[in-house]
A and B are shown apart, each in its own frame.
Chain A
C-alpha cells in the first residue's frame, strides 16, 4: 500500500521534471479536454501486469524508477560540473494577486480568488523552506489600484495571516499600477538581492493610468524579473512584460497546473551576474538562550520567558531569526538557515552502476551488504541485478540507498566514514 503510493508520487515527480524538455509535446496535450487528460496522465492500467497464474499484480518498476532517477542525476551533475554552481539564494520577491472582478469567476472551484489564495499560501511556505534568507511581500490589485497586503518580510505566518484576512474582489485590474508599486518597493533593496515579481493575473484587460511600456522599461532597468501566471487566456502585454524582464509566462489549465506552475518559482534560480551583484554581507550567528530564562527583548520591548537569541555583537536579545539587531544593526541569522542550502554547493558525485556477482573478492563481508543500510546486496528479492558504488570511497550501496543519499541525505556515508577522504575534502 505504502510502496504503491510512494511510486505514484515519484512517477509524477519524474513527469514534472520531464515537462521542461518536451515543450513541443505540451501543445498537443493542450488539445485534449480535461477528462481525457486525466486518463492519459494516470494510465492506471499500465501499472498492472499478469503473473504466471493469471493474477493481476502491480508492476515492479523499482528498476525503471531507478533508471529514471539516474538519468536525472546525470543531467544535473553534467550541468553543475561544467560551470560552478551559482544560485540566487537571496531573493526579494513580490507576489501580486489580481483581485479584480475577474477573480470572482467560478471556472476554478470555488472561485479563482479562493484558489489563488490557497496556492499562494502553499507557495509562501515552500518558498521559505527553500530560500530561508529571502523575503516575500504580497500585493493585491483591486478597483484599478494596487496596494501592499504585507511589506517585505521573512516570516511566513504574518504573510499568510494578512492574506487570509482580505479576501474580496471588485473593480478593474491595472498591471501598470501593480508594476509601479512593486518597482518602488524593490528599488530599495540591497544590490546583492535578486528582485522578482510573480503576478497571478485573472483579468483579460489592464486599465492603466499612463503608458505601461515606460513602466516595463523602468522595471527592466532595475533588474526586476517579472513572471506572470495567467488564469484565463494569453495576453500580449503579459507576454511582452515577461520577455522584456527575463521572466516566464504561463497559463494555468486547471488548479493542479496552477499549483505546479507556482511552485516552479520556489527553488532558487541560477544566479545571473547582471541581475544581482555578488557581495559579502556581514552577519551574526546568535546563540539560543536556555529555556526558562527571563529577559527583555528588543523587538517587542517586553520581558519574555525562554526562547530567545542573543546578538553576538551587542548582546541584545531578539525573539526570532532571521532578523536585524535593533541596537547595532547586525543581520542575525541562525547557521542552520544557511546550512539548508549547502547541499546545492557540494553535490555528491553520482554513483557508478556495477553488477555485483563478480565482486566477491576474498569473501569479504562488506562486499555483500549495502554500506549504508546493511541490506544484503545478494538478496534475490531486490531483483534488479546490480548495485551502485561510490567512485570516491568505493563502497557499495543498494539502489534504494542510492536514491535516498542523492535526493535527501546529500552525504555519502562511505566518504563520511573515512578520515582520509574527509581531510582531502577539507583541504581542497
Chain B
C-alpha cells in the first residue's frame, strides 16, 4: 500500500459509488424481460473491472438498493483480493477476477436478507426500491473520503436503477440531491426500467451528472463503458448524451400522487393536490378563500422584462 499512498492523486482518479437496484419486484416484472438479473450483474462486473483497470488508484464502492433495505456490497479499497486482480488474470487459472466472487457472495447474502425482511409486511409489495436510503449512504461514504484530506479520488455516484419512483421518498431523495449538489458530487443515472425516472432526471440535472436510458439493454456494458466510465476531468472533452428533458413534477403531501398543478401552503410550502382548510404539515389555517394567481397578476404584469 505504501507506494500507492505516496503517489499523488491526479485529476483522473475516480471514486465510483455504484447503486445497484436489486428490487425483486422489478427484476421479476415484465418490464425487465429484455435483461435478466444475472445478465445485468455480469455487465456490471465487467464495468467495475474496467474502471479498476483504468487506473490503479481508482476505487469502486457498490451499494445495493433493495426493496426493504440497503447495504454495502463491495469496497475495492477494503478488498483483500482487489490488488491481485491483474496477477490473477495473467496466471490464467481463473476465468473471472477474484473480486467477482466476493461481490456475488455478498450480493447473495444481501438479497436473502432483503427477502427475509419483506415477509414482515407482505401487503406493502408495490414496486419501488429504497433509492433515498442508498443515495444517503453513498453521500456519507463520499463525505468520509473528503475527510481524509486534500488528496482523494474524484467521487461520483452512478445509479443503475430500474424500479419506478417511490413518491413517499420524495423529500428524502430531494434532500440527498441538494446535499450532493452542495458538495459537488455528480449523480449519474442509467435507467434500465421501462419508464423514465423523474427522481433521477432531477438528480442528474441538479448535480450536473449524466442521465441515460439505454435503448438496447443487451448492450448495457457498451453504454456503461462509453458514457459512465469516463472520469470527471475527461468529460469536458467528449460528447455526452443530451438530456431528453426533465420531469419537474412534484408529489403531493396528502396522497403522494405525482402532480403537475397543485396548491402550496404559503407558510411551509407543502404541496397539496386539492384545496384544504388547514395545513396538515404546519397547522396553519387558511384565512380567506384560496387565492388564485390573480391577486399576484395585477402587480406583476407591470414588470418589464
Interface set of A (CB-CB < 8 Å, partner B):
1-3, 84-90, 133, 151-153, 188-193, 271, 273, 276-292, 299-300, 309, 312-313, 324, 329-331, 333-336, 338-346, 370-375, 400-401, 404-405, 408-413, 416-420, 422-423, 425-426
Contact = CB atoms under 8 A, between A and B. Distances in A.
7 contacts: A271-B284, A290-B243, A338-B271, A339-B170, A339-B175, A411-B172, A425-B168
B268 A190 contact: no
Nearest to A339: B174
Nearest to B247: A287
B293 A287 contact: no
Contact of B248 (A287, A292, A341): A287
B266 A336 contact: no
Contacts of A412: 136
Given A285-B249, A288-B245, A290-B243, A3 B147 contact: yes
B168 A86 contact: no
Given A335-B249, A423-B121, A409 B136 contact: yes
Given A281-B263, A409-B176, A413-B136, A329 B72 contact: no
B165 to A, nearest CB: 13
A92 to B, nearest CB: 10
Contacts of B261: 282-285, 312-313, 330
Given A278-B265, A345-B268, A286 B132 contact: no
B293 A330 contact: yes
A89 B269 contact: yes
B141 interface: yes
Contact of A334 (B75, B170, B175, B248): B248
Main secondary structure of the interface of B (DSSP, over half): mixed
Interface stretch (B81-89, B225-233, B272-280): B272-280
Nearest to B72: A374
B90 to A, nearest CB: 31
B263 A283 contact: yes
Contacts of A331: 293, 296
B248 A279 contact: no
Contacts of A1: 149-150
A324 B296 contact: yes
Contacts of B120: 420
B130 A133 contact: no
B266 A276 contact: yes
Nearest to A321: B248
Contacts of B265: 278, 280
A85 B283 CA distance: 9
Interface string B156-187: 00000000001011111011111100110000
A404 B143 contact: yes
A88 B240 CA distance: 41
Contacts of A84: 282-283
Interface string B67-95: 11111100100000000000000000000
B284 A278 contact: yes
B167 to A, nearest CB: 9
A221 to B, nearest CB: 18
A300 B304 CA distance: 10
A128 to B, nearest CB: 14
Contact of A287 (B143, B144, B249): B249
Name which of A88, A338, A411 has the most chain B CB atoms within 10 A of its CB: A411
Contacts of B264: 280-283, 333, 338
Contacts of A371: 137
Contacts of A288: 205, 245-248
A287 B299 contact: no
Nearest to A410: B175
Nearest to B282: A86
B96 interface: no
Contacts of A416: 70, 130, 132-133, 136, 169, 172
A420 B121 contact: yes
Contacts of A3: 147, 149
Given A289-B245, A299-B305, A416-B130, A2 B179 contact: no
A340 B282 contact: no
Nearest to B150: A2
Contacts of B54: none
Given A372-B140, A373-B140, A290 B305 contact: no
B300 interface: yes
Contact of A417 (B130, B270, B284, B302): B130
B194 interface: no
Contacts of A372: 136-137, 140-141
Nearest to A292: B242
A338 B134 contact: no
Contacts of B275: 280
A286 B262 CA distance: 11
Nearest to A155: B305
B72 A190 contact: no
Nearest to B256: A426
A401 B140 contact: yes
A404 B283 CA distance: 29
A300 B305 CA distance: 8
Name which of A3, A278, A340 has the most chain B CB atoms within 10 A of its CB: A278
A85 B282 CA distance: 6
